[in-house]
Structure 1
Amino acid sequence: MQVASCRAAGAGILRPVNETDGKTPVDVLEAALAAWRGALGEAHVIVESEALEAAQTATFATTQRIPAILRPADTSQVQACLRIAQAHGVPVYPVSAGRNWGYGSRVPAGDGSVLLDLGRMNRVVEHDEQLAYLTVEPGVTFRQAHAWLREKNSSTFITTIGGSPDASLVGNALERGDGRGPHADIFQHVCALEVVLPTGEVVHTGHARFPGAHAAPVFRWGLGPVLDGLFSQSSLGVVTRMTFWLARKQPYLREFVCAVNDDARLWDAVDRLQALALDGTLKGSFFFWNDIKAFSVTQQYPYASVGRTPLPDWARDKFREGFGRWAISGALSAPDAEIGALLERRLAAALDGASRPLSFTPGPPDGESPFQGVPSEANLAMTYWRKRTPQPETPDPDRDRCGFIWCSVALPFTGAHAKRAVEIADRVPRLFGLEPNLALLAHSPRCLYLATALAYDRDARGEDARAHACYRALTRELAEAGYFLTRAGLQAQEEAPPVRDASAELVRKLQAALDPRGILAPGRPET
């Protein structure tokens, strides 16, 4: 996605943002559609009801309606789309690939926004093997980038995510998504953004704004104020190009896993592994999954043996027999086996006493691992956890009416903070008849993400409302404890926490200056 996922539901008919010409709303829309057809071609201004209905569907209840979908082919066409939107006062909402499952998918923030679908802009613009960077348009997906680099026989890779392989690199980075591998904080490893402002003007960040700047793809800061962050999780512009810094495949790669049954031992392990992350033993991301999360990835809800929801303790205990209360997993990488063996010994010492001993799996000979850039659909099984029909070969949680909501918060990387946050996230979903699907993600040596997945069946009566109520209760209690959202999707439109400074007013001033008619993603709170 090109803007953050907080949306606000509206009611009914499309209205121009600043209506001054006395035209009826339908006349305004028709005039804008005619102009867009002239700019993009008839085939790329979509008004068919089936396509609009699909774009209006997420993994939870939504009410927003989309009057049309625009599909620009390049930056100049994006400029034209936004200029037309400004001229007619018609709101638009940009998306890249629309796979933002669990945060709102493609559904716009406000009712009546025209969808600006950037999927046609799917070109790899530049690659440098020695300097390890890749410049792409917003339609390029993780699957496409991996295939492109593999075809080039590149020794580099881009960090993958736990979501769909068909998600956008640019959209995920702008949402500040987390990845699997050495660049877990993806937005920290990008630069040289090309951005179309709501008025249709183009800006470039860093050194990319200087003609012929050789350092543009390798230096984030440029000269003067750093603008990159203004365009992440915001509606201040549409990013049409971005450079990603790649990692180099390592000759030594070992994936590891162990189990912990005792919570007290888990919090101790959190502290021990934080120390290894800080000293560089653990260079990439690693994970702490609870039993429910692991269960939901390996199979769907056991209706045949349980017959009711939520999952009773005896069924959960049965699964734990072959798994454990928590699993700790990740990967070690090194330039040679000698250094790798040292890393193994350090990790084994830190996890000594785990209920299931630490085990290592040798990486494949070609280095093709999820920890070295290979995208996977495995985690999408979680979205089908409560469905009574099998997961199809080609998963689409929106189409299949999977109920799925993410709640992701940031916390300091200590056992004490992990314990406090997990106790809240483990308890609250149970109050609403949902299983606590929990993961702690090592986002950096100093920060953990606690990601709680609320999975349910949208075809079960009343479950949408129940899941939303659970999300609201969970985010509020975590915030009261000092743990705030890292990504605020459509489900969080009323849950944006209050701020204690003038930052919200500053953003409003920037919006007023950059988007005079308020046409870009209206309804999205900029907290």
Structure 2
Amino acid sequence: MATTIGLQDLPPTPLLSEKHSGIPERWAEQCKESKARLYSLKTLPASVPREGELPVLPPGIDRPTFNTAIAELKETLGEEHVELNDKPLVDGWYMEHPNTHDTFHVLEQSKLVSSAQVYPGSVEDIQTIVRWANKYLIPIYPISIGRNMGYGGAAPRVPGSVTIDLGRRMNKVLKIDGNSASCIVEPGVTYFALYEEVQKTGLPLWIDTPDVGGGSVLGNCIDRGVGYTPYGDHWANHCGLEVVLPSGEIMRTGMGALPGKNGADNPSWQAFQHAYGPSVDGIFSQSNFGIVTKMGMWLMPATGHQSYMITFPEEDDFEQIIEIIRPLALNRVLGNIPQLRSVIQELAITGRPKSDFYDGKDPIPMEVIKAHAKNMPCGECAWVFYGTVYGPEETRNSQLDIIRQEFSKVRGSKFFLPEDMPEDHYIHPRARICSGVPELRELDWLNWKPNCAHLAFSPITPTRGQDARIVHEIVTRLHKKWGFDSLPTWCVSGREMHYIAEILIDRSDPDEKRRAICCMREMITEAAAEGYGEYRTHLIFQDQISRTYGWGNQALMRFNETLKDALDPNGILAPGRAGIWPKSYRDKGWEILPEDEPRTSVKTNGVIH
């Protein structure tokens, strides 16, 4: 049975003033309540005993060699900046997460774990660590914050890797430029932290934040995450990187490659994304070719804004809705990256568990969902569209008139503004996110199940109804086959849509984990067979997905492997990330593919554990 945990029973989450990954004081109460809700159905113990000798060793490294290597690293960086992963594994929660493993572990908790964590305080420290790794042939795995939830968190792809936690000591906003509306951040800067720093300047600038604000600005960007203002394509709005290569050399991309006057940074570094010659920034996103230590990011000038919500009555309406969305998005009438969400999320985002709405263990039927929605602010419906328009009032009103007119073509659609909804409705945090204010509210749907974790299936489709239908029917059918509720969201960028399907699992249930992996494997395979591929995925599916991009006899992967072997001949930097294996690991049993069984195991050097 679940044990209800009251607010008074939980230690407070660290504040941002106390810890780089903490919560700003203005969100402390919201954070406290969110944490209590997420703990209210927790049945897992804080930790479970670990088996075998600890820490888990890197592949091919015996314990005396490992101990010698760690002693050398401690002597170089300081004992307090190197920690062995030999203690109990504690999942924590979003704002108090581990850097030792995946909080939302789909495999057993102890499978994808580090051997140690190291905390560099400078680029020079990172160079030292990289050279150390080359000397001992120990794999290293850099993280910014480690909150890549649903995609692997802080877990290394190769068990026993040494995690480089960049965020603990490299967490400064190095520059905010009001003239160019840009900033430079280190890896440990969260969206909450960047928002606070921008507020301190008093400049009329917005950040662009994803659904939850605790992640790394840099980390989310290089994993090509999205937000919801007109600057929502984060990678498209980065400008200039500083990178430590696997050799230990430092490189700057874009205009930063041109030295500034008297040793200063080039003044155009955050103004223009490219240099002369090939534009190489892209090889450092979703890759293992370098460690990004600084990044420029464009900020949005503050402007007027108006959020709104439209509901649609029938589940089969989505094809018509998307056909209406496309010309509005292409002509920039919609203004931002809007979301089309299944109405089941109106239930889940209340923070109430599924058991409040449905007694069955099977997926909750649509008629039950709609019956509950009938008594909620959204009313009885199947889809909910959240959007925001920007600019002067006259412009916003003109855009809203067009939006109302076009979506009214869907019979039974209803249009709402935030003032039409009660204060606790999700439209209000949605409006804040769409005006550059970080939030925590999106965490509430993780209360849908006890010990809830999520696993994201994230294919790309054109903004076209027939394409959306193909992917949606695959996802809906396979969620039902494997016994999961389907909570789909389309995030519309214009010509394309990110289809985000979350599988919610009780991470205390091995069978749910097995079924979630099976569901993911089949969705990946079936979507790829129809020509639709994921833009981002969890660690254990990276090999499968990278192989779906196999045009020209795996020409892209062969190119990536050529780059990997040239830049990282010893294969020390994040081997296996994005499905890219160095020659020292390649074709030696490290890949995790659909045929590998059992589904809840992980292969280590060809052996299933």
What does 1:187-266 align with in structure 2 at a 5 Å threshold?
187-212=235-260, 213-250=266-303, 252-266=304-318
Aligned twin of 2:440: 377
Letter in structure 2 aligned against 1:500: W
Selected match of 2:521 from 446, 455, 472: 472
Query: What's the offset of the Cα at 1:286?
Result: 0.3
TM-score (norm 2): 0.77
For residues 125 and 362 of structure 1, the distance between their equivalents in structure 2, rounded to whole angstroms, comes to: 39
Query: What's the offset of the Cα at 1:15?
Result: 4.5
Query: What's the offset of the Cα at 1:258?
Result: 0.9
Find out whether 1:500 has 2:558 as its counterpart.
no
Query: What's the offset of the Cα at 1:174?
Result: 0.6
Find out whether 1:429 has 2:475 as its counterpart.
no
TM-score (norm 1): 0.89
Q: Cα deviations across residues 222-254 of structure 1 (Å, max 9, x unaligned)?
A: 11111100000000000000000111111x211
Query: What's the offset of the Cα at 1:65?
Result: 2.9
For residues 478 and 293 of structure 1, the distance between their equivalents in structure 2, rounded to whole angstroms, comes to: 23
For residues 394 and 298 of structure 2, the distance between their equivalents in structure 1, rounded to whole angstroms, comes to: 27
Find out whether 1:14 has 2:14 as its counterpart.
no
Taking structure 1 as reference, are residues 279 and 65 closer, same or farther at Cα in structure 2, changes over 3 Å only? closer
Moved more, 45-54 or 182-191: 45-54
CA contact (8 A) 2:312 2:414 kept: no
CA contact (8 A) 2:476 2:486 kept: yes
Q: Cα deviations across residues 53-73 of structure 1 (Å, max 9, x unaligned)?
A: 642233122412311100111
Q: Cα deviations across residues 310-337 of structure 1 (Å, max 9, x unaligned)?
A: 2432422322422410001110111x21
Find out whether 1:302 has 2:349 as its counterpart.
no
Secondary structure at 1:222 match in 2: coil
**C-alpha RMSD of matched pairs (Å):** 2.2
For residues 360 and 338 of structure 1, the distance between their equivalents in structure 2, rounded to whole angstroms, comes to: 17
For residues 482 and 361 of structure 2, the distance between their equivalents in structure 1, rounded to whole angstroms, comes to: 11
Query: What's the offset of the Cα at 1:264?
Result: 4.6
Secondary structure at 1:344 match in 2: helix
Find out whether 1:340 has 2:388 as its counterpart.
no
Shift >6 Å, 4+ stretches: none
Secondary structure at 2:87 match in 1: helix
Aligned twin of 2:198: 149
Moved more, 225-234 or 263-272: 263-272
Moved more, 236-245 or 122-131: 122-131
Aligned twin of 2:580: 526
Aligned twin of 1:31: 68
Secondary structure at 1:146 match in 2: helix
CA contact (8 A) 2:309 2:416 kept: yes
Selected match of 2:334 from 282, 285, 289: 282
Taking structure 1 as reference, are residues 264 and 493 closer, same or farther at Cα in structure 2, changes over 3 Å only? closer
Taking structure 1 as reference, are residues 136 and 304 closer, same or farther at Cα in structure 2, changes over 3 Å only? closer
Aligned twin of 1:486: 535
Letter in structure 1 aligned against 2:580: E
Query: What's the offset of the Cα at 1:362?
Result: 6.7
Moved more, 237-246 or 304-313: 304-313
Letter in structure 1 aligned against 2:358: V
CA contact (8 A) 2:115 2:159 kept: no
Secondary structure at 1:462 match in 2: helix
Query: What's the offset of the Cα at 1:90?
Result: 0.6
CA contact (8 A) 2:195 2:437 kept: yes
Selected match of 1:128 from 171, 177, 180: 177
For residues 102 and 334 of structure 2, the distance between their equivalents in structure 1, rounded to whole angstroms, comes to: 40
Letter in structure 2 aligned against 1:408: S
For residues 432 and 330 of structure 1, the distance between their equivalents in structure 2, rounded to whole angstroms, comes to: 32
For residues 203 and 72 of structure 2, the distance between their equivalents in structure 1, rounded to whole angstroms, comes to: 43
For residues 42 and 52 of structure 1, the distance between their equivalents in structure 2, rounded to whole angstroms, comes to: 21
Letter in structure 2 aligned against 1:243: G
Moved more, 169-178 or 458-467: 458-467
Find out whether 1:417 has 2:417 as its counterpart.
no
Query: What's the offset of the Cα at 1:452?
Result: 0.2
Secondary structure at 1:495 match in 2: helix
For residues 542 and 400 of structure 2, the distance between their equivalents in structure 1, rounded to whole angstroms, comes to: 45
For residues 48 and 107 of structure 1, the distance between their equivalents in structure 2, rounded to whole angstroms, comes to: 12
Letter in structure 2 aligned against 1:380: L
Letter in structure 1 aligned against 2:223: E
For residues 242 and 171 of structure 1, the distance between their equivalents in structure 2, rounded to whole angstroms, comes to: 10
Find out whether 1:58 has 2:103 as its counterpart.
yes
CA contact (8 A) 2:142 2:574 kept: yes
Letter in structure 2 aligned against 1:14: L
Between the two proteins, what is the percent identity of the paired residues?
27
For residues 204 and 51 of structure 1, the distance between their equivalents in structure 2, rounded to whole angstroms, comes to: 39
For residues 506 and 59 of structure 2, the distance between their equivalents in structure 1, rounded to whole angstroms, comes to: 36
Secondary structure at 2:114 match in 1: coil
Aligned twin of 2:9: none
Query: What's the offset of the Cα at 1:368?
Result: 8.5
Taking structure 1 as reference, are residues 156 and 75 closer, same or farther at Cα in structure 2, changes over 3 Å only? same
For residues 281 and 132 of structure 2, the distance between their equivalents in structure 1, rounded to whole angstroms, comes to: 25
For residues 268 and 157 of structure 1, the distance between their equivalents in structure 2, rounded to whole angstroms, comes to: 33
CA contact (8 A) 1:16 1:88 kept: no
Which blocks of at least 5 consecutive residues in structure 2 are unaligned? 1-51, 91-97, 261-265, 421-426, 582-609
CA contact (8 A) 1:409 1:485 kept: yes
Selected match of 1:70 from 115, 118, 123: 118
CA contact (8 A) 1:165 1:376 kept: yes
Find out whether 1:440 has 2:490 as its counterpart.
yes
Find out whether 1:357 has 2:414 as its counterpart.
yes
Letter in structure 1 aligned against 2:214: D
Letter in structure 2 aligned against 1:338: E
Moved more, 463-472 or 259-268: 259-268
Query: What's the offset of the Cα at 1:353?
Result: 4.3
Selected match of 2:142 from 94, 104, 108: 94
Letter in structure 1 aligned against 2:417: F
Letter in structure 2 aligned against 1:230: I
Query: What's the offset of the Cα at 1:281?
Result: 1.3
For residues 58 and 469 of structure 1, the distance between their equivalents in structure 2, rounded to whole angstroms, comes to: 20
Moved more, 38-47 or 428-437: 38-47
For residues 68 and 89 of structure 2, the distance between their equivalents in structure 1, rounded to whole angstroms, comes to: 19
For residues 566 and 89 of structure 2, the distance between their equivalents in structure 1, rounded to whole angstroms, comes to: 31
Find out whether 1:510 has 2:563 as its counterpart.
yes
Taking structure 1 as reference, are residues 100 and 236 closer, same or farther at Cα in structure 2, changes over 3 Å only? same
Letter in structure 1 aligned against 2:386: S
For residues 201 and 105 of structure 1, the distance between their equivalents in structure 2, rounded to whole angstroms, comes to: 27
CA contact (8 A) 1:468 1:491 kept: no
Query: What's the offset of the Cα at 1:276?
Result: 1.3
CA contact (8 A) 2:351 2:446 kept: no
